[in-house]
Amino acid sequence: MENFLGLLSFGAEGWGDEIASGVVVTVSLALATLPFGLILGFFVALAKQSEEPSLRLAGNIYTTIFRGLPELMTLFLIYFGAQIGLRQFLIFIGIETAIEINSFLAGMLALGVVFSSYASEVFLSAFRAIPRGQYEGGYAVGLTYGLTMRKVVMPQLIRLALPGLSNLWLVLLKDTALVSTIALSDILRQTGIAARVTKQAFFFYGTAFILYLLLAILSGMVISRIERFGQKSEPAR
């Protein structure tokens, strides 16, 4: 037991500090991806419920691709493919510079597009749950499209989409584990290195397992607080 505590200690001997930094990477990656994915997802949802067929088509292609590809594949395609593509493009237009898509950015982009393609579905069903009368009411009292959207539709939309989105957050948190394969030092990679070096595979992978579980429990607590807050503004029935 003392032995295991020693393995988790901070400092040069133990792996505690490495694993802690892995937790920071995992959490910050998920947090950085969230707003990016939400905004992108919202716009894709707008496109998919638009009356303009070309916008709908573009939105549908987007979700078909990113919901159909394995997340690991999306990650590889962006990490290697986008980098090579960008380099070729820059050389083509004559800029000789090393713009780098590092693994954090690649992870954020990949997880963000996957998140947004699912989030767009959540937003879409939330949009559909808002009756037309709400828009018409907004226009009737003289609000512009933007104002109706912001002041009438959005508040309801967020509340309707919240359960679906919180589910996606948990999925996102787990999907971050995939970035360990593109050399980003997240929880799983750091525990994996520790496991291989110390040969205590069960202990360290078990640690990773528990850390993810703790993050999920923590998120669950935060989400239920947000949900309670959201319910407060619900009209009394």
Partner 1 sequence: MRISKRIALAAAAALAVAMGGAQAQDMMKLKIGTEGAYPPFNSLEADGSLVGFDIDIAKALCEEMKADCEFVTQDWDGIIPALQAGKFDAIIASMSITEERMEKVDFTNKYYNTPPALAAPKDTDIAGVTKEDLAGKAVGVQGSTTHSNYAEATYSDSDVKLYPTADEYKLDINSGRVDAVVDDVIVLQDWLATDDGACCKIVGTITPVVEIHGPGAGIAIRKGEDELREKFNAAIDAIRANGKYKEINDKYFDFDAYGS
Partner 2 sequence: MTEMSVDQTAVERPPALPRRWTASRIWGSAAVAVWVLIGAGFVWYLASSWSLDFVEKYGPRYWSGLKVTVSLVLSSLAAGAVLSIPIALGRLSKNRYVGALAHAYIYTFRGTPLLAQVFLIYYGLGQFSNELRSIGLWGFFRDAWNCGFLAFTLNTAAYQAEILAGAIKSVPKGQWEGASALGLPRLFTFRKIIMPQALIVALRPYGNEIILMIKGSAIVAIITVYDLMGQARWVFSKTFDFQAYLWAAVFYLIVVEILRNVWAWIEARLTRHLIR
Phi, psi of 73 (to 5 degrees): -70, -45
Annotate 89-113 with DSSP letters as a single string. Answer: HHHHTT--------HHHHHHHHHHH
191-220 positions binding partner 1, by CB under 8 A = 193-197, 199, 201
Among 35, 57, 61, 100, binds partner 1 (CB under 8 A): 100
CB atoms within 10 A of CB 217: 9
Of 139 and 145, nearer to partner 2 (C-beta) is 145
Chosen from partner 2, partner 1, none, partner binding at 148 (C-beta under 5 to 8 Å by type): none
180-219 positions binding partner 2, by CB under 8 A = 180-181, 188, 192, 195, 199-202, 205-206, 208-209, 212-213, 216-217
Which residues of the chain form contacts with partner 2 (CB under 8 A)? Answer: 47, 50-59, 61-62, 64-65, 67-73, 76-77, 80-81, 84, 170, 174-178, 180-181, 188, 192, 195, 199-202, 205-206, 208-209, 212-213, 216-217
Which residues of the chain form contacts with partner 1 (CB under 8 A)? Answer: 11-15, 18, 79-80, 83-84, 87, 95, 97-102, 181-183, 193-197, 199, 201
